Amino acid sequence: MSAIVTALSSISVDRLHMTWAVVGRKKELETLLKHNDPSGSFAGYRTLLHNVDGPCVPFISMYLQDLVRSNENTTPGHDSATVSFYQRMRWYDIVRSIVKFQNRPYSLRATYTLPFIEGSLREHSGKSEEWFWTRSEELVQAEMLHADIRRGLSEAGF
């Protein structure tokens, strides 16, 4: 979800105003953006995960950040052999949060989606950000052309 939201929020896609008007950006993407917002330690995403009952593939980066923060916030004793039980307890809680989604099997049917994603990745792998910007520019020009045609039809009474 994070990768998809980030891609849809990129400037190359964000500037396609006519496309977003048809898709309904406010309804769909804005909701996802709330869950993908890293502020507040991903508070929106954590709330969403708290309500999930069933299999889920969590955003691992959030948990890795938790582990790093836990490691930074707890200082071991003066002796290198000293064990911080608070730190170990915190690590346990973080790892338990990750594995709780593995209690149920995943029932995913990838008959249409997976081949589409794999084909798109093969087709666009190795293309630079410049290529995407150029393609975005082409689409913006096409949107403007269609807007002019639509406006003309509307003025003619169609």
User: Contact 130/3 with Cβ under 8 angstroms?
Assistant: no
Over residues 43-56, the pLDDT tens digits come to 888 888 888 877 88
- pTM of the full structure: 0.57
Place of tokens 């096409």: 142
Residues of the chain scoring pLDDT < 70: 26, 74-81, 108, 110, 153, 158
Q: What is the DSSP letter of 37?
A: -
User: Contact 56/101 with Cβ under 8 angstroms?
Assistant: yes
Over residues 19-44, the pLDDT tens digits come to 887 777 767 788 888 888 878 788 88
Sorted by where each begins, the domain ranges of the chain are: 57-104
Structure tokens belonging to residue 142: 């096409």
